[in-house]
Structure 1
């Protein structure tokens, strides 16, 4: 790989920011075309469409979580082999990751098609939104293979230190999605089905273009059928990181799914407002996510190169950047909360007020704590201790978010604002655990690869 993709040398702050910036733009674009779905549906279909996509998006997030989690194992392993200058290890990791991603996508597609209707009934999706939610989810399930394929490619490129290529791929997907949203939802009047088709077609286009790009640039893997093979040693290590990461993300998103179920009890307006609020909050967290991904890749390469002090410095600088940028973002959201919510539904005053309340509670000081938590989770995944991030997800979702939300909303009886408060306090305990693990130094001797054999 090119020298510019080496994350083990140079100024840490500069390297981290330059590596994170393309990922930030990519994350913003990816989140943006998700928001475009909500904008178009909110203005054309109305609150019933917003409630439908709000509920369907929760299941989509779970599918994406499984995909990102599994492929994250490839990012970390490729990064450590890159740091150790082991090209054979890199090649075998890529082939193994692509193969298990294809297999996993088929399994997840089948499971998704089997469970989405029972889940919607369990979540008390408003009756007026049920048909739209089911139609949207069925189409999204059929496009799962594109999500796995795209994320596998991007995770590998990040592990190699290339954050620019994924940006180009997602830029194309965003453009395709916006154009198709306008045509399918607007001109052709296909409603939520049109938004779903726009999403999967844009993801398919992004995957196809990414493969063409890699083949033309003599990528280490040539995409020939005979090279799609699973190497047992690579599979074990990928799953060692990937499965806890997938569990971590699935647990968090299942908790949000259950939170959505709680909010559905309070009517269509609350369901729609909360869905919009979550989208905005997710969008606001994109800088934090990008820096976290950069921390994971840089920590991975430096663990492979046995640069422990650089691992520490990367994590500390990543946390400082995350806190500063998150502070700027939440100030903007708090100042312009009304204008932001009105972008999605400028007419229904109940949706507007409930959406503003969501942002007031869920996109404030708690977001700074989340920035700390996410940085330490990203560090843990990068060194290969994804089980730490998984435990933090359980603390976040199962120990705090769900019990506190339920108690405040239904036992203390303060209504849906209690659910918002439960979400706001959830990152505190995981942030403390992450800090203690980082300071403990027990992680310094951890290795996913045999450094002495791969060192050159």
Structure 2
């Protein structure tokens, strides 16, 4: 594989050369701990407003406003993954100039996108919430939370793209350190604004935005101060045509794939809203607990993308296959352990968010359906991450659309009216996971037979 521009002394790369299972776990744990602290400061909002403001505020933090914010962030992170895949492949092949172009184009896209979304989101927040049939007793708090979120979206985008870039080159530790700092900062500000200044849900939202601003600044400084080939220069932030095309080629399908998950969740949330505030509050509390499972699974998915991207860029196709196989086994073990934990400790965990017995009872019913099916999603997350690492995102997006978005939407529109219960709504998740997992298993087994014969790799 010919290199366009190579550094005079390339540092040893453990991802392309080390013992796979050991390097995978070394890379995974900082990502997992980072997402743990990220989820912890999100959960702190829910716990503090739920305990000290009320269940209506708890429902507002985790209900419609949360689904809308997840939709926006998910799409951006998906599009940004185009940059991280390209950077991982270029870094594995030690191509400096195209890597630099991808880096600075990603940052330009981040800034431009945040400006557009801030303006639209702030103005249209009440409209979005009405579309989702948000209960009237939640509407004002939800609008307040969502508008403050949109005002700080630039910091969210910068942190997400910057931390993804660091992870794509094998650095999963610094994003962890920054999140630890910002987690405790957010909790402190939550307590200050909500308990001392009595700012309610606005205080929790402002605390989160300020914390995210600090994390964004730390990420930018890390990229500017590195001596490696992925150094950020503020004056070079602009759109490079070829890099933008490559980013969008991979990123748009990945972004749409994320949107499909979010759209199906919004449809689910709309159905849940019709069941009342107690159900929405229970779903919110469960969602905060459930997010700790997703942080582990997504960390393994990021690890799979990085390992596959760098090794694919370096032309080490056998190592690509071994990395994915090992990652599947480890992630399955983690999923089973977490399922057992949630089923055992679920009732106690719900008490962290609320003492309302009706909310807790509904939450237990949700947990009983969801937790046993966690292992099914492992195949979707790891194979999707691996395919993204080689630049294959079109087919995975289509499979996700059919297996998750369309299926869940039909489920809600056809089955829920016949049986409008929380059990009917919740069951749509494990069934859709099972269908989509089968599709990904079949596609990956066919795809890996052709490694080295296709042209998906940007580094090829």
Bin of the TM-score, shorter chain as denominator length: over 0.9
Query: Are the equivalent residues in 1 in contact too, given 2:89–2:458 (CA < 8 A)?
Result: no
What is the alpha-carbon distance in structure 2 between the residues aligned to residue 130 and residue 110 of structure 1?
20
Per-residue CA distance 1:386-405 (angstroms, 9 max, x = gap): 22331232123323222224
In the alignment, structure 1 residue 385 sits paired with structure 2 residue 401: no
Q: Which residue of 1 aligns with 2:16?
A: 8
Q: Partner of 1:276: helix, strand, or coil?
A: helix
Gaps of 5+ in 2: 1-8
Give the one of 180, 195, 199 matched to 1:190: 199
- Compute the displacement of 1:47 (Å): 1.0
- Is residue 2:401 matched to residue 1:397? no
User: Bigger shift: 389-398 or 70-79?
Assistant: 389-398
1:91 aligns with one of 68, 83, 100: 100
Residue 213 of structure 1 deviates from its aligned partner by: 2.9
Gaps of 5+ in 1: none
1:159 is matched with which residue?
168
Q: How many residues align?
A: 449
Q: What is the correspondence of 1:306-385 to structure 2 with a 5 Å cutoff?
A: 306-346=315-355, 348-364=356-372, 366-385=373-392
Moved more, 31-40 or 118-127: 118-127
CA distance in 2, matches of 1:402, 1:417: 16
Matches within 5 A, 1:283-294: 283-294=292-303
TM-score w.r.t. the length of structure 1 is: 0.95
Q: Secondary structure at the match of 2:17?
A: coil
Q: Once the two structures are superposed, what CA deviation does each residue of 1:301-330 show, in whole Å capped at 9, x if it has no partner?
A: 011011111111111111111110010011
Residues 429-438 or 293-302, more deviating: 429-438
Shift of 1:450: 5.8
The alignment status of 1:436 with 2:419, answered yes or no, reads no
Distance (whole Å) between structure 1 residues aligned to residue 60 and residue 309 of structure 2: 39
User: Is contact 2:90-2:459 (8 Å) kept?
Assistant: no
Q: Deviations 1:209-244 (Å, cap 9, x if unpaired)?
A: 222233333354655443012211111111111111
Cα distance, 1:2 vs structure 2: 7.3
Conservation of the 8 A alpha-carbon contact between 1:338 and 1:352: yes
RMSD over aligned CA atoms reads 1.7
User: Which 10-residue stretch deviates more, 213-222 or 181-190?
Assistant: 213-222
SS at match of 2:351: helix
Alpha-carbon separation, structure 2, partners of 1:423 and 1:222: 41
Q: TM-score, normalised by structure 2?
A: 0.94
Shift of 1:167: 0.7
Tell me by how many angstroms 1:158 deviates: 1.2
Aligned positions of 1:247-262 closer than 5 A: 247-262=256-271
Q: Does 1:65 align with 2:74?
A: yes
Q: Aligned to 1:229, what secondary structure does the other structure show?
A: coil
Q: What is the distance in 2 between the residues matched to 1:241 and 1:130?
A: 37
Distance (whole Å) between structure 2 residues aligned to residue 446 and residue 18 of structure 1: 31
Residue 383 of structure 1, CA deviation: 0.9
Q: Map Cα deviations across residues 394-423 of structure 1 (whole Å, 9 max, x no partner).
A: 123323222224433212x25122101112
